[in-house]
Amino acid sequence: QQQVKQSPQSLIVQKGGISIINCAYENTAFDYFPWYQQFPGKGPALLIAIRPDVSEKKEGRFTISFNKSAKQFSLHIMDSQPGDSATYFCAASGRDDKIIFGKGTRLHILP
């Protein structure tokens, strides 16, 4: 049972553009929503995270938008750069200490 659905599977964006990745979850008990960035040959690294009591969190060029009523959240990368080319995973966790991941989005920024 997939509890976190992520789209699109792959995304190509021009340098300087906005990259948007969307996720939806089912379990209303989730209370922590992180995003991970993974470069080839490396382990995923925590990029940014949000709790459901806020609707938006911004860190530099990266912003999470959160819609609790729709059970959806998204990652926006402003002024996308070639160095942002990576695989991005959304995720969610609740009180049982496990993090459930989406299937990932492969992002490619054209120079």
Partner 1 sequence: NAGVTQTPKFQVLKTGQSMTLQCAQDMNHNSMYWYRQDPGMGLRLIYYSASEGTTDKGEVPNGYNVSRLNKREFSLRLESAAPSQTSVYFCASRPIGGQYGYTFGSGTRLTVV
Site residues, partner 1 (CB under 8 A): 6, 9, 31-32, 34, 36, 41-46, 49, 51, 89, 93-95, 97-104
- Phi and psi at 83, nearest 5°, equal -70, -10
The C-alpha atoms of residue 91 and residue 4 are separated, in whole angstroms, by: 7
User: CB-wise, 20 or 49, nearer to partner 1?
Assistant: 49
CB 50 within 8 A of CB 59: no
Write out the H or E segment, with its range, that includes residue 19.
strand 19-25
Nearer to partner 1, 15 or 42 (CB): 42
For the CB of residue 48, give the shortest distance to partner 1 in the complex, in Å.
9
**Closest separation in Å from C-beta 43 to partner 1:** 3
The CB-of-7 to partner 1 minimum distance in angstroms stands at: 13
Nearest alpha carbon to residue 23 among 78, 77, 71, 94: 71
Across the strands, what pairs with 12?
Answer: 108
Cβ nearer to partner 1, comparing 11 with 17: 11
